[in-house]
Chain A
Amino acid sequence: DAGVIQSPRHEVTEMGQEVTLRCKPISGHDYLFWYRQTMMRGLELLIYFNNNVPIDDSGMPEDRFSAKMPNASFSTLKIQPSEPRDSAVYFCASSLDGNYGYTFGSGTRLTVV
Chain B
Amino acid sequence: EDQVTQSPEALRLQEGESSSLNCSYTVSGLRGLFWYRQDPGKGPEFLFTLYSAGEEKEKERLKATLTKKESFLHITAPKPEDSATYLCAVQTNSGYSTLTFGKGTMLLVSP
Q: Interface SS of chain A: helix, strand, loop or mixed?
A: strand
Chain B: CB-nearest residue to A42? B103
A102 touches B (CB below 8 Å): yes
Q: Which of B43, B91, B103, B104 contacts A93 (CB 8 A)?
A: B43
* A50: min CB distance to chain B, Å: 7
Counted as pairs of residues, one from A and one from B, with CB atoms less than 8 Å apart, the total is: 52
Instruction: List B contacts of A56 (CB < 8 A).
Output: 96, 98
Complex alpha-carbon distance, A97 and B103, angstroms: 25
Q: How many residues of A are in contact with the other chain, CB < 8 A?
A: 26
Complex alpha-carbon distance, A50 and B98, angstroms: 11
CB under 8 Å from chain B, chain A span 35-72:
41-45, 48, 50, 55-56
Q: Which of B45, B99, B103 has the most CB of A within 10 A?
A: B99
Instruction: List A contacts of B43 (CB < 8 A).
Output: 4, 91, 93, 104-107
B41 touches A (CB below 8 Å): yes
Complex alpha-carbon distance, A33 and B96, angstroms: 13
Complex alpha-carbon distance, A28 and B109, angstroms: 38
* B34: min CB distance to chain A, Å: 6
Q: Which of B32, B43, B44, B98 has the most CB of A within 10 A?
A: B43
Chain A: CB-nearest residue to B47? A101
Q: Which of B42, B49, B101, B104 contacts A101 (CB 8 A)?
A: B49
- Tell me the A residues contacting B by CB distance below 8 Å: 4, 31, 33, 41-45, 48, 50, 55-56, 91, 93, 95, 97-107
- A/B interface sample: 18 pairs, CB < 8 A: A42-B87, A42-B102, A42-B103, A45-B99, A48-B97, A50-B97, A91-B43, A95-B97, A98-B97, A99-B32, A99-B91, A102-B46, A103-B46, A104-B43, A104-B44, A106-B42, A106-B43, A107-B42
- What 5 new A-B contacts, CB under 8 Å, besides A105-B43, A106-B43? A42-B102, A42-B103, A45-B99, A101-B46, A104-B43
